[in-house]
Chains A and B, each alone.
Chain A
């Protein structure tokens, strides 16, 4: 796909102290830099190289991503809920693009 599109599945509300599961997926071909085209030229590497999950501005989970992560990178991780607030998910592309997605979390 021309432009990468993130998808996030995280609860909209949780109770204090609960550990929630967050799933993320982003469309990206994850060109490894290991492949050659039909003319024998190396296809340059072009991947999502970093992922950050923040909650209320604080980093809760990060991933350094290598070309060995599959196309359309999938990440699943946990977070303990201490207070209500807002998630911010950030994907960094080799080409300098930054993709973000925000989502609110209620505590009740």
Chain B
């Protein structure tokens, strides 16, 4: 076995840095994220709440495909259901990820998708219930950057 030197291993990574540095899209600001939340709630308060759950990996091997599941505890009846859930990524070029529109017919307020994350950051989910209340949760995803892209 031929040894890989520290210099080689480091250079492997730095070569990638040179490639990935090309155009840096600016990341969203916290103000932008808060603005998006305000737009979603119409100015109403969205407090952190245990009824909304966000399932994301602790570490994503690649930011291009990060699985995500969101669920809200609700009976999902005609007069008591989850209307919408917005998903925002705090440090993406644009915070918006997706908005799920549920109906009483959903039966269970739960949906999954796969998202792009530009860097390690918080993912925010805010739910709007049919009673006009808003509920929020946040989760951090560490995004692995600088591997052997190929």
Contact = CB atoms under 8 A, between A and B. Distances in A.
Interface residues of A, number: 30
B106 to A, nearest CB: 5
A7 to B, nearest CB: 14
A39 to B, nearest CB: 12
Interface in A53-108: 55, 58-71, 73-80, 82
A68 B105 contact: no
A107 to B, nearest CB: 14
A78 B115 contact: no
A78 B108 contact: yes
Interface of B: 22-23, 25, 64-66, 69, 76, 89, 92-94, 96-103, 105-117
17 contacts: A19-B107, A32-B93, A36-B23, A59-B103, A61-B102, A61-B106, A63-B113, A68-B89, A68-B96, A69-B97, A70-B115, A73-B114, A77-B110, A77-B112, A78-B108, A80-B105, A80-B107
